[in-house]
Chain A
């Protein structure tokens, strides 16, 4: 009887030890990471947060991209922030009063940057027109600028900043 009991305890103890051992092993040994992460590192050199961009005036966008596997593509878009929404990590800027959007400027640009190497400084001059094709003026005020960059392997990085879009008096 006592022998049987001892045996049972031994089994329980052993199985608990196995579980604890396996749990400990999995907690401490992190398997080697065989897929290197290759999230592109993006630095927006121009514009800087809270900059002002003027209608009808060419602006030189400059973005530095660093990857391991090679640069893939870049997409930029501009949308209004008249409703004071946030995208989290960007620096807050001084904003105008909230207002209804009437004819906000909305556009995106996409560039294929494959075969540009592992490190690349993207530079492009873009002019935002004052008026649309119907001759109507775009709304001025607070805007957001979004930048997405991919590596050749498909890793994606996003960054964003606030700027003002105004008419030069």
Chain B
């Protein structure tokens, strides 16, 4: 009312001075929430102002003319428009788009002005494209292990699995824009079928996220977001070639993006080939730990190359999309194939096989793994007034094959042995069909409130083949319904809450012993069971001013036991143990408290985020006293467990050129029933980085930087039976990078030396750690890419 009156007064006053105008406006985001503090400039900076607490701004005494207006704010894309100021009073609404895909979440790591803008009460780290490019390692998870709280469980150069805050396997979901990627959780040596070159945006959610992602996301989520829609019509692209000295890696990638009117596309093709990796020191004996019956039996002498760890990766993906006034929609097709050899500790004892392995650094012999993954995903967002309907559909086919020299362990089953030998020594084949549908209706028409109504459904069909039996065939149907509420109370407070219910149906087929003379007659009985569960979360964000952010979140998450945890029965060959599930295992339930504080001083930014997770029924693999001919028996059991720890990060710009960054992570994991540790707990570690950025906005070079990195991991002696303590280490890396400007295009060169001093150290959660094979030695890498 008063505002209207004021406008009226201003209007009458300015009627006479008719050559001048007043421009008033409000800056809002896509949720119709004001963006306080946004910078608004006219005509390239001729006049400028800052939006107030309500997102409002005004320019007075502006000549009646056409004006160029721009608005910018951290976490949002630059807004630019041309306005016709021909009236005495011009009213504007500037709607800004979040610069990352949907929500302006915490943007972290390495972007220099990374004032974290938070809408989530949980720690969500947005990983921008340049982070992935600058840190690109052998696999996606190795690349992401530079993020505090994220570790990578590696098997040689090409396979790695995510571990978030000490939780991995079934407890971490890898999703493609909300559609779960299945397969990687099958076992410890099953990598994720994702081409990191095709990733533009990615978010890491640390801690339980069952609310959004359903049952398996109890430890965290790696959510791969779709690439940005190109801003302008035309074609752009990038070619890159990478060479690495340590494992003679040669890789190439080509990506192409195009936009024509409302339509856009992205295409990506990748090929990587690498040889056996090299470790520091030669003539050393690698003595496998007495971990399991079959594995413990060998102490193998290896040279500086770890035989048969070569691999290959091929990937192809395509995204086609449309952006219209009603919303947007895209479809994504992708194919990924990886083939990796495993170090053959058994074969290395036999002269003939050893010679075969040592003949070439690049051949992939048995034992090996090959995983093919086909997927089709689609996502549509339809705007219905202020509200939005989002539909995600996905189909995935994942085929994993493991080939090993077959040995008859029972003394019988000769026919089977012959049959599978004829199938290229097929030891275990796992085939998975996975259908997913996610529907979210986002109600945004009530001021300051967003309600998301979510329905997820997933159907899983799994079949196996091969000489080994470990998992029965099964079907799983999961459905979840939930509500997420985001309440923007005022400038300082945001409240996030949600509740979700899930229903799962598990159907396992009967699996009989093909050789009734040997062992139990039934491996797996017919099994059918419904598992239901609920999750909730309540969180608050408090931003008293733009330099300080505090957040807290409490929640309950749950996870339905995996097929392994219920029905495993058989030798896990690469682990050398006999695994046995338990059909009586119940869903895991976790209660979490998560806190976070971010403070920005002038040139210094500090972040801490402690957490504690209490599990009422933590599922883990417990070695038993029972021995079988195949190996020691490990059983999936449940106990109370407590995991706590946190991450910290310091980012300091000493000057415009010199930046110092350090981040650390710590997890303490306790099995409360046994009063012991939990397996595969990453050690305390710190990653520090000193970067010099050159002032070279010159014509020839730009974005040049030199960076020196030190990674320190503490000793890990919180181990479980048959797990080795791992000594601490420090390793040093060096990176130099520059862009050479070739007309409008760019030639980027990235030179990196990993493990500069060729230090011999072990990664506690690496698969080869147990075989006492250290991490790769010095590695010199060069990536040259051309962007146009």
Contact = CB atoms under 8 A, between A and B. Distances in A.
Interface of A: 8-9, 11-12, 15-16, 18-19, 22-23, 26-27, 30-31, 33-35, 37-39, 72-75, 77, 83-89, 106, 108, 110, 112, 114, 146, 148, 150-158, 160
B627 interface: yes
Contacts of B718: 31, 34-35
Given A150-B625, A160-B297, A155 B351 contact: no
Interface residues of B, number: 53
A34 B287 contact: no
A105 B646 CA distance: 56
A154 B297 contact: no
Nearest to B295: A158
Nearest to B712: A23
A75 B629 contact: yes
> Chain A binding site: helix, strand, loop or mixed by DSSP?
mixed
Given A31-B717, A75-B627, A158-B290, A16 B660 contact: yes
A83 B348 CA distance: 12
Contact of A73 (B627, B660, B664, B677): B627
Contact of B714 (A27, A39, A75, A156): A27
Q: Most chain-B Cβ atoms within 10 A of its Cβ — which of A77, A108, A112, A158?
A: A158
A15 B652 CA distance: 9
B293 A87 contact: no
Given A31-B717, A35-B719, 12 more contacts: A12-B660, A26-B715, A35-B721, A37-B721, A73-B626, A86-B349, A89-B287, A108-B629, A148-B296, A148-B632, A151-B625, A156-B292
Interface in B640-677: 650, 652, 654-655, 660, 662, 664, 675-677
5 contacts: A72-B625, A85-B349, A88-B287, A152-B625, A154-B721
A114 B625 contact: yes
Interface string B683-700: 010101000000000000
Contact of B627 (A16, A27, A148, A152): A148
Nearest to B658: A12
A74 B287 contact: no
Contacts of A146: 297
Contacts of B539: none
Contact of B623 (A35, A87, A154): A154
Given A8-B654, A15-B662, A88-B285, A26 B728 contact: yes
A56 B46 CA distance: 104
A95 to B, nearest CB: 13
A149 to B, nearest CB: 8
B727 to A, nearest CB: 10
Contacts of B624: 72, 150, 154
Given A31-B717, A85-B350, A110-B629, A75 B293 contact: yes
Contacts of B715: 26-27, 30
A19 B687 CA distance: 10
Interface string B398-425: 0000000000000100000000000000
